[in-house]
Amino acid sequence: MKAVIAIDSFKGSLDSAEAGNAAAEGIKRVYPAAETIVIPVADGGEGTVKALVQGLGGSFRTVTVNDPLGRPVNAEYGILPDNTAVIEMSAASGLTLLAASERDPMRTTTFGTGELILDAIKNGCRSFIIGIGGSATNDGGAGCLQALGYGLLDENGQQIGFGAGGLSALRSITQSGLSELKECSFHLACDVKNPLCGESGCSAVFAPQKGADDETVKLMDGILKGYAELTRGINSKADPEASGAGAAGGLGFALMYYLNAVQEPGISLIMRELKLEAAIKEADIVITGEGRLDSQTAMGKAPVGIAAIAKKYNKPVIAFSGAAGQGAELCNAKGIDAYFPILRDITSLEQAMDKEKSQKNLADTSEQVFRTIRLFIK
């Protein structure tokens, strides 16, 4: 038996490789001679750097950059063997870096994300994969551009301040970014389809969870509209209505129209980089999963992306999860033949998230599933 195992992380508990290895352990208990191929995966959000570095044999680099409020924070990114940099913007500009009381998109900045890109350029990287989920920001990517050498200037010709509040003072933009940017290519792992502005724009849809009230949402939406108009003077193709322009509080817009970035669904990009389809094509069975399977999974997260590839080659697909939420059954219609939550007793959330317990639960559940399979396939 040849099993390809591509399980997304159980966030807060197991990373993708740990989850995959636990499932492989369970299979080996039943089929000692089985070939188990563990491929770490992610969907462009948290875990993307680790999945690609582990899967492709790259290295990690940690640098000190500005966090969303301009404070020093150690942020990690990856460099792949072909010198491609893999960056999660949330490592520098993410919501999890702030306490709930600190959330304020009028102040938070993507400057640190720009510093990560800058560090990678200085280390010889010219190709970039950037995951742009989990942001604390709504600055249209202005801080990122400033870190890369662009002039976002106020009426006195001075660099504007951080956050959407700083962006409100924007009067002109100079296209004088770092010269090496012309040599760089950017691919964005992004599943957000929202435009920059309007009722479905980043301010209206995402800013409330970042600390904005109704009045602030309206104010920021107007600020971003003005920013988009000025951007058209730099790039006539700049379109605030473009799908994904509102990703990460408008960072998608900045990267698309200042750095010519190409957006792609996160799982599609990751699967291509890891050559997952080639491995699945040769498999007898495909194992996938994530921390919680529910209706959101069925809307295009990593497990159903993997299942879609498997079904292209008529491969059976089993999924493991920490829990199964409302709508998990929708995953069956998306190519997951059967799914199995791994919790084995009544437990607290803290106990359920314990790494050692999760690894044991996943391995034990995998073993029992494959014992069942052995009844029919020796």
pLDDT, position 30: 98
274 Cβ contact partners less than 8 Å away, ≥ 6 residues apart: 39, 40, 41, 51, 52, 55, 56
d(C-alpha 31, C-alpha 28), whole Å: 5
pLDDT score of 217: 98
Band of residue 178 on the pLDDT scale cut at 50, 70, 90: confident
Contact indicator for 167, 227 with CB cutoff of 8 Å: yes
Using the predicted structure, report yes or no on whether residue 177 has a pLDDT greater than 80. Answer: no
Q: What pLDDT sits at residue 184? A: 97
Higher pLDDT, 212 or 378: 212
> Residue 54: is its pLDDT beyond 80?
yes
What's residue 124's pLDDT? 97
pLDDT band at 133 (very low <50, low <70, confident <90, very high): confident
What is 2-41+275-374's CATH topology?
Rossmann fold (3.40.50)
Give residue-wise pLDDT tens across range 154-167.
Answer: 999 999 999 999 99
- Section 285-305 average pLDDT: 94
Residue 367, pLDDT > 80, answer yes
Query: How confident is the model over 336-342, as a mean pLDDT?
Result: 98
pLDDT of residue 21: 98
Q: How far, in Å, CA of 249 to CA of 106, rounded?
A: 11
Mean pLDDT to the nearest integer, 75-90? 98
Question: What does the alpha-carbon distance between residue 297 and residue 202 come to, in Å, rounded to a whole number?
Answer: 22
Q: How far apart are CA 42 and CA 307, in angstroms?
A: 14
Give the pLDDT of residue 221: 98
Residue 362, pLDDT above cutoff 90: yes
What pLDDT digit, counting tens, does each position of 99-132 carry?
999 999 999 999 999 999 999 999 999 999 999 9
- pLDDT of 70 above 90: yes
Structural domain boundaries in the chain: 2-41+275-374, 48-266
3-state secondary structure 151-190: EEECCCCCECCCHHHHHCCCCEEECCCCHHHHHCEEEEEC
Q: How confident is the model at residue 326 (pLDDT cuts 50, 70, 90)?
A: very high
* Mean per-residue pLDDT of the chain: 95
* pLDDT of 312 over the 90 cut: yes
pLDDT at 344 over 90: no
Quickly state the pLDDT bin for 378 (edges 50, 70, 90): confident
Residue 175, pLDDT above cutoff 80: no
48-266, CATH topology level: Glycerate kinase, domain 2 (3.90.1510)
